[in-house]
Amino acid sequence: MTLNQDRKLLGFVDLDLGRRAVRVPVQAVAPLTDQDIPQPLVSFECEGGLCEILVRGDANSAAVGQALQEVVASAVRHLSAKLLN
């Protein structure tokens, strides 16, 4: 998981996993610079029992909104496989 301490909580995404509900924090992190390894605008990251969604762009942009929808779908698949199987 990213060790960046400059995070801003944007909110939470509530995922319905059948009989379980999981609340995943959505956090803004500093945008990437030219020296950084390329990363997606939005990513889902898990380490151990902690999961989060990181946003690396303007949280109000259409591109981030679309990427967030895709990442949420990926998070549902990942957590369903991890928690329900």
39 belongs to a structural domain? yes
Name the 3-class secondary structure at 84. Answer: helix
Q: Please, which residues have CB within 8 angstroms of residue 67's CB and are 6 or more apart in sequence?
A: 40, 41, 42
Predicted confidence (pLDDT) at residue 25 exceeds the cutoff of 90: yes
pLDDT confidence band for 2 (50 / 70 / 90): very low
d(CA 32, CA 57): 8
1 belongs to a structural domain? no
Look up the domain containing 13 and give its range: 7-84
> What average pLDDT does this structure show over 59-82?
92
26 belongs to a structural domain? yes
Bridge partner residues of 71 (DSSP): none
Q: How many domains does the chain have?
A: 1
